[in-house]
Amino acid sequence: MEGREDYDEDEWRDVVDTFADPGGKSALRRASKSNPRNKSCPTCKSRNRLTAEDVARGYQCDSCADKAERGCD
């Protein structure tokens, strides 16, 4: 996985436990029983794109974030 070489073993375990795409470009949190991906994106309104943790951080889905970063929103 990309980015793994930047972390020691314990740090990498925390990254894997926290993020949906460890080492990737997404900031979205990993879905779990206690944090399901059952929230709509506030931008595109697509269902089941975010977790409650994502919403609490004010995130949007990866597709909308990518478009915003490219200036295509």
Q: What is the pLDDT of residue 11?
A: 82
Is residue 14 over pLDDT 70?
yes
Q: Which of these, 7, 33, 36, 68, lies nearest to 59 by C-alpha position? A: 68
Q: For residue 29, list its beta bridge partners.
A: 19
> Model's pTM, two decimal places?
0.79
pLDDT digits over 17-63, tens only?
888 988 888 999 999 999 999 999 999 999 999 999 999 999 999 99
Spatial CB neighbours of 32, under 8 Å, sequence gap ≥ 6: none
Residues whose CB is less than 8 angstroms from the CB of residue 61 and which lie 6 or more positions away in sequence, other chains included: 28, 41, 43, 44, 46, 49, 50
Domain ranges in the chain? 4-25+35-70
User: What's residue 61's pLDDT?
Assistant: 97
Cα–Cα distances in angstroms (integers) from residue 12 to residues 5, 24, 27, 51, in the given order: 9, 13, 15, 21
